[in-house]
Structures are given as structure tokens and as C-alpha cells.
């Protein structure tokens, strides 16, 4: 599976009394496979200006510059003979700071 996103974004405060017009772009890719009672899933994404948690949330810094974001997860599940599904997973989502963000933690 895969997907892509592109959005024109206008009216971003550029920190100099004006606005910056830019775009936000992202792509995602994932795969899932099952063998007997085992299911494996892997998924990842990468973007610029799309932000994190909510679409376009914090996608740009105080000067209107795009922030990079990326992440993904892996998951493994197993269905035991009685029908109960057991699983483990690990995921990460990262929103990079820009130079304008220095010291704002």
C-alpha cells in the first residue's frame, strides 16, 4: 500500500511582518503479510510541512519554514490455538526542529 499528499498552504506568518506561501507534501508506504497464525506489518511515512498529530499542525516554524516529519511502526501478532491474538509493536513519530526553533523547548 502507498499514498501521497500535497497541499498548497498560504498565509503563514514569516516572523518578519509578512506571510510565506508554501506547500506541504508527504508520502507513506506499508506492507502486511500473514503466514499461518502470524501477521507482520511495517509502515513508514515522511513529509515536509505536514506537521504531526493533526494535519498541518506545527508543520511550519515561526518564520514560515517547513518542518520535516517522519515515522513509522512495525507490528507482529500471533493467534494462539484457542483464538486469542497476542501482539507486539513499536512505533515512532518525529517532527524536526528548524533553526528558528532553537531555544524554544
Distance of CA 15 to the CA centre of its chain: 25
pLDDT at residue number 61: 79
Query: Around Cβ 4, how many Cβ atoms within 10 Å?
Result: 10
Q: Name the CA radius of gyration of the chain, rounded.
A: 19
Predicted TM-score (pTM) above 0.85:
no
pLDDT at residue number 16: 63
The pLDDT tens digits for 14-46 are 666 667 788 899 999 999 999 999 999 999 999
Residue 88: pLDDT above 80? Answer: yes
- 11 Cβ partners below 8 Å, 6+ apart? 19, 21
The pLDDT tens digits for 53-87 are 777 777 887 777 888 999 999 999 999 999 899 99
Amino acid at each position: 500500500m502507498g499514498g501521497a499528499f500535497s497541499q498548497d498552504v498560504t498565509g503563514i506568518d514569516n516572523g518578519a511582518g509578512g506571510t510565506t506561501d508554501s506547500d506541504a507534501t508527504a508520502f507513506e508506504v506499508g506492507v502486511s503479510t500473514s503466514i499461518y497464525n502470524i501477521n507482520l506489518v511495517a509502515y513508514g511515512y515522511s513529509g515536509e510541512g505536514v506537521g504531526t498529530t493533526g494535519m498541518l499542525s506545527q508543520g511550519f516554524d515561526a518564520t514560515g519554514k517547513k518542518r520535516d516529519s517522519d515515522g513509522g511502526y512495525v507490528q507482529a501478532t500471533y493467534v494462539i490455538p484457542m483464538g486469542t491474538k497476542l501482539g507486539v509493536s513499536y512505533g515512532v513519530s518525529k517532527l524536526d526542529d528548524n533553526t528558528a526553533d532553537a531555544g524554544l523547548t
